Structure 1
Amino acid sequence: MRLITTALFALCIISASAARAEEMSFRVVGVNSGGCGANCPQVIAAQGEIGEATPDAFLAFVRENARGGNLHGIVLLDSPGGKVVASMELGQAIRKLGMAVIVARPAADQSRTMALVSGRCYSACVYALMGGRKRVIPPESSVGVHRMFNYSTNFDIAEGGFVRQRNLDEGGMLQTLSRYATMMGVSTELVKLAERTSPDKLYMLTGADIARWRLGSRKL
């Protein structure tokens, strides 16, 4: 799989409202590259919430679609988050394949040429983003982080039945996420910031944050 060059992206980034989140799905989209016709390079668009089955679904999708010869090593990522362990597994799969990640999603303008629409990568999605061999967060796109948590269901007689309870990490996940970030070349300070941020809100990363913590670049 080839890593597409910046020159192939004769694309613009435009603002757009985010759609309601659904389970992550994948599709191949063509990139207009100056009259290439049927031979235009293709990239993968990944949109939706990252679930436990997402990493395997991604690998299966790549195997199925890499046979045509025009698929390049780029993932357009747009996600509200999801399962943190699955997000790390997706990031590891992306890194193993040597793919780049751009926080954006595809759209076609009225002239039928490809454009990139502003995307988002929130919550656990940032750990999938870390897997990119090269990571690009255009200025119009956004990345937000907060403390990781999970849910458990317990039976409580006093509450009259089953109760869903949110569980916050007591330190073990911080260590796991920090080791993962180090492996991906991202500063552990980003993980520490995320784990200090309330799970009920997002800390939106600035361009300075993205550069300082080596999460990626603003430019294609």
Structure 2
Amino acid sequence: MRKTLVAGLVLYCLLLSFMDPAQAGVVGNVSCDGRSVGFAIDVTGPIEDATFDEVREVFTKYRQQQNELANGRTCPEQGLRGKQLDFSAYGHRFSIDSAGGSVIAAMKIGRLLRQERESVMVEGICFSACVFVLAGAVDRVVFPPGRVGIHRPYLGSYSSDARREIESALRLMRDYLREMDVSPRLADDMIAVEPEDNRVLTVSQLASYGLVGIDRAEKQHRAIDQEISDLEEAKALGLDRREYNRRKSRAKLLCSAPEAASNCRKMILQTGQP
């Protein structure tokens, strides 16, 4: 039983011939501007166990730097003086451009993204196993001309238990997609496409599977986070919730100019007047 399960977990998706192995890998950067920490992760090429290890390492460094700031230690800013700060110092970026690889490694990355409540951007391609990375993110964005494609995973070599292994892998895929609140129908549709083919999904198909936009559970998390933030801000301002909501609504209406939005909002919340 154990042997069959292990064999079923070594499924690999098709790796298209036009990928350049020299350009494959993970480029990860954790940046700190002395006040906040951000990261940029770009995954290119085949998805393998090593890919997961490299992605996890970047997240580990990111959390370590966050902890240092939380404990009163600041990042070294001397090296930043006179230089343009890296994009990742201001937020998070996780992008992927891959034609596939290990289904299991892709699921591990997907679960890590879900644990970290992170988003994924696709600006190139995201085919076969890459779809499981996309499914794991709490917010999935496919920018034109980015493409997402599916086909049936296949075993790396012949096995006398091939049928059982493939059926086991299919159950594994369905369970993972349910866990990520993506339609399990996606697994059936992947199985229907031959490994040597690739079915590129339309925008409407991506939406029907649940592969674009914010995950439902994440929407709830963000709503709760926003509610707590509003309660804390109202308390700090000494406002009851009704008056706070009135001022917040007024700020949304009047503070539209990007260059002055922050000061405008602050004044309205504090005084009730623009």
TM-score (normalizing by structure 1): 0.67
Structure 1, gaps ≥5 residues long: 1-17, 31-35, 105-118, 155-166
Structure 1 vs Structure 2: percent identity of aligned residues?
Answer: 27
- The verdict on how the C-alpha distance between 1:140 and 1:73 changes in structure 2, with shifts beyond 3 A counting, is same
Q: Does 1:177 align with 2:176?
A: no
- Whether the 8 Å contact between 1:146 and 1:196 is mirrored in structure 2 is yes
CA contact (8 A) 2:38 2:62 kept: no
Residues 174-214 of structure 1 show CA distances to partners (whole Å, capped at 9, x for unaligned) of: 11101100111111111111111000110100011001111
- Equivalent residue for 2:100? 81
Tell me: CA distance 1:57–1:71, structure 2 relative to 1, closer, same or farther (3 Å): farther
The one of 135, 141, 157 equivalent to 1:152 is: 157
Aligned 1:1-220 pairs, distance under 5 A:
20-21=20-21, 23-28=24-29, 42-66=39-63, 67=65, 70=89, 72-104=91-123, 119-152=124-157, 170-217=166-213
State whether residues 138 and 217 of structure 1, in contact with CA within 8 Å, keep that contact through their aligned partners in structure 2: no
Take 2:19 and 2:104, find their aligned partners in 1: how far apart are those partners? 24
Q: Matched residues in 2 for 1:45 and 1:177: separation?
A: 25
Paired letter, 1:20: D
Bigger shift: 141-150 or 60-69? 60-69
**1-structure distance, mates of 2:60, 2:90:** 11
Instruction: Give the distance between the partners of 1:40 and 1:65, measured in 2 at CA.
Output: 7
Deviating above 6 A after TM superposition, structure 1's stretches of 4 or more consecutive aligned residues are: none
Q: Does the CA contact (< 8 Å) of 2:38 and 2:90 recur in 1?
A: yes
Distance (Å, rounded) in 2 between the aligned partners of 1:51 and 1:132: 18
Conserved 8 A contact 1:21-1:80: no
The secondary structure found in structure 1 opposite 2:91 is: strand
Q: Letter of the 1:123 partner, please give it.
A: S
The CA distance in 2 between the partners of 1:54 and 1:95, in whole Å, is: 17
Per the alignment, do residues 80 and 29 of structure 1 end up closer, same or farther by CA in structure 2, a change over 3 Å counting?
A: farther
Amino acid at match of 2:99: P
Displacement after TM superposition at 1:53 (Å): 2.1
Secondary structure, aligned partner of 2:117: coil
Q: Please report the TM-score for the alignment, with normalisation by the length of structure 2.
A: 0.55
Residue 29 of structure 2 contacts residue 58 of structure 2 at CA under 8 Å; is this kept in 1?
no
The CA distance in 1 between the partners of 2:112 and 2:147, in whole Å, is: 23
Distance 1:20 1:29, change over 3 A: farther
Tell me which amino acid in the other structure corresponds to 1:130.
Answer: A
Greater strand content: 1
Q: 1:40 to 1:64 in 2, by over 3 A?
A: closer
What's the Cα RMSD here?
3.0
1:75-99: CA deviation from partner (whole Å, max 9, x where unpaired): 1111111011111011111111111
The alpha-carbon deviation at position 24 of structure 1 amounts to 2.6
The 1-side partners of 2:38 and 2:107 are apart by 28
Larger Rg: 2
Gaps of 5+ in 2: 1-17, 70-88, 215-274
